[in-house]
Structure 1
């Protein structure tokens, strides 16, 4: 097992500290998504209406024009405006009626009888007002609204959409022979997310368009393999030779991102061989028959295949009794030279 660091600021491998040169690859991705809103609230829709009676407080006639504002006098004031003119005859106590409607829609405009008792403006000193009957017709309905939960869900959905596209997008930016760890990919939001509706704003749907910078760290596979070979070579006896073709490596889950660098862990497996001493072989097989020599060599040394013996001339029944007259050649197929 070896921990390696892919460092974009490194030009050549530094295997003493297990750091490899790397390249930063990045691109922008725009994504848009829309969801149904989940919140609701009551929305005032209809204006309450009714009638009021104005009473003359003086001796002169009073004209109360349409648009005069009257309101309830207790609690939170509910304002109404007259929709017709009222001509109040001369004389204290004289009366005239007028139609009214609430200034704001909603059920708050439905007030009880004898609660409207305030005249706004200069006419308050000339007439008084009251409503002998209640007002009605003010209404509301349940409407969909955007909520913070909707925003959170939509943002997570769009970010997941970008994350799903990021690896494929960055793969297209790799040079031949480069490898990109999917877990090294970072998503950076370039601007504040802008939603189509504010919290509690009436909306059937909520939309979001998001632009993010996606960034990853690419490593040259040839350099990575060289580092893994070095790791394997360091783990075997100094006199051994590594079988390069047997090298296998697997990246362990998880990476650590430190600044622009990515640290990852790999497990390495490889076969190796211990070199055979030709002098020892010559001494062991001197004077033996070819069959006995083959059997002895296979018993004493690990062999990938049976040894081959050539005699000159072929009719000699045994190998030379003097070891110096025997030539031994050892082939280390697919191995790398020990450092």
Structure 2
């Protein structure tokens, strides 16, 4: 063995394979493997055993340089020289490996057979050769038939398959619950149908204006006109002042003459006279058109006729608007409606989607005299009346989720045994709200419905169907109370010509028909 030492610094990427390649060309030499302190590879005992075994195969005297305590311990167990530094490896004595790395060959080849053994084997072959050819053929045929039967039975059990499509029985459950929403309740009481109700209060302010409807008449003037009297007889007719004339259409409007006049003698003689509307017909009501004043009232009606050839004019009314008591009541009612509407919008803005304000419970809870300010008193002369008003408005709020929970609980109480609820089939409807007899209570009806489906054991059904004929399998499925009568089960066989269910239950697939 060469006295020269061949040093190898291990790298972080070195493996057993790469190290074997390095040792391949170093047969019969002294090899020193140096582990860097930062290296983490090839530090286990198994790695050292494999390295030492490779070195022994190539007659290499192996030593290592490492500071790892565990690696030094493994090297001592394997009788491998281990040094702290490169200088120590050059001055110190190296160990020779005495570790048994290869198993001894305990199992040696068997000795040659003895003559009596050969004689026994030869006799057995001779007896076999003495058998009848027919017997051998029959035995072979029997084995072939047996194997064919086994293979056929295996294929009969494994190859056939079936798919059974079933529709579980379904029922619809409907409940109608009389619900009482009570502001004094703090939890759902399923037995009595009571759910909590929330009281909301809002302080709101608004302004409103209405036109004044009262009227005060200040002064008026009478309409005046010129009429023409015509003599109906042969003598002169004297018409005194204050003679009353009137209109003939609709309700008469009365006029009176303003001076004495005389109609000349002779039929058809005419004279003009000034007239004015009487005091009870003052104002623009006396402004009548031509020909409207055509009636003489009194004893002169048979002696003269009268007509106005021009319109009566000059009648006028003078009045002002005042605040009536009805205006005040109307404005107060309008402001209250606005306050409730404003409070409703504010309440609704802060509620969840499932919370509902009961419109029937919306009311003005508190008004104060100092919160109600009118712009004018009753009788004041003005064209409009304004009001600024503040009030506290309250309302009851019902959470629809509570009513849904109540109806769902009632539905669950009615689910028959061996049935399960289909959650996606739950429906809910709410009736109109009604104010309860007690203050703070709201009554309404909640209607809920859901579909329940029968449970069935698929594994048990597969075991029952295994090995049955197609007709018997259909009859068995029809007899199952858990399956729907309206949608009978459907069986798909492979191969179809078999007309019998597979003997192995695992070859039967049972699935539910999709819901429509």
Q: Normalising by structure 2, what TM-score? A: 0.38
Give the match for residue 368 of structure 2: 191
Give the match for residue 337 of structure 2: 160
Change beyond 3 A, Cα 1:214–1:281: farther
Q: 1:2, 1:187 → 2: CA distance?
A: 31
SS of 1:190's equivalent in the other structure is strand
Give the match for residue 249 of structure 1: 428
Change beyond 3 A, Cα 1:160–1:279: same
Q: 2:198, 2:492 → 1: CA distance?
A: 54
Q: 2:186, 2:471 → 1: CA distance?
A: 56
Say which structure is richer in strand.
Answer: 1
Q: How does 1:267-278 map to 2 (within 5 A)?
A: 267-276=447-456
Does 1:210 find its partner at 2:385? no
Give the match for residue 11 of structure 1: 186
Give the match for residue 124 of structure 1: none
Q: 1:236, 1:251 → 2: CA distance?
A: 22
Give the C-alpha shift of residue 238 in structure 1: 5.9
Q: How does 1:138-153 map to 2 (within 5 A)?
A: 141-153=318-330
Question: How well do the aligned residues superpose, as a CA RMSD in angstroms?
Answer: 4.6
Q: 1:295, 1:154 → 2: CA distance?
A: 80
Does 1:261 find its partner at 2:441? yes
Give the C-alpha shift of residue 38 in structure 1: 0.6
SS of 1:13's equivalent in the other structure is coil
Q: Is the 8 A contact 1:32 1:208 kept in 2?
A: yes
Q: How does 1:171-182 map to 2 (within 5 A)?
A: 171-175=348-352, 177-182=354-359
Q: 1:186, 1:282 → 2: CA distance?
A: 66
Q: Which stretch has the larger CA shift, 285-294 or 240-249?
A: 285-294
Q: 1:187, 1:239 → 2: CA distance?
A: 54
Q: 1:278, 1:187 → 2: CA distance?
A: 63
Q: Is the 8 A contact 1:30 1:211 kept in 2?
A: yes
Give the C-alpha shift of residue 263 in structure 1: 2.2
Q: 1:229, 1:292 → 2: CA distance?
A: 38
Larger relative contact order (CA 8 Å, sep ≥ 6): 1
Gaps of 5+ in 2: 1-175, 220-316
Number of aligned residues: 238
Change beyond 3 A, Cα 1:302–1:210: farther
Larger radius of gyration: 2
Q: Normalising by structure 1, what TM-score? A: 0.54
Q: Is the 8 A contact 1:278 1:330 kept in 2?
A: no
Q: 2:450, 2:512 → 1: CA distance?
A: 21
SS of 1:250's equivalent in the other structure is strand
Q: 1:239, 1:183 → 2: CA distance?
A: 44
Say which structure is richer in helix.
Answer: 2
Gaps of 5+ in 1: 45-139, 334-339
Q: 2:479, 2:335 → 1: CA distance?
A: 65
Q: 1:151, 1:239 → 2: CA distance?
A: 70
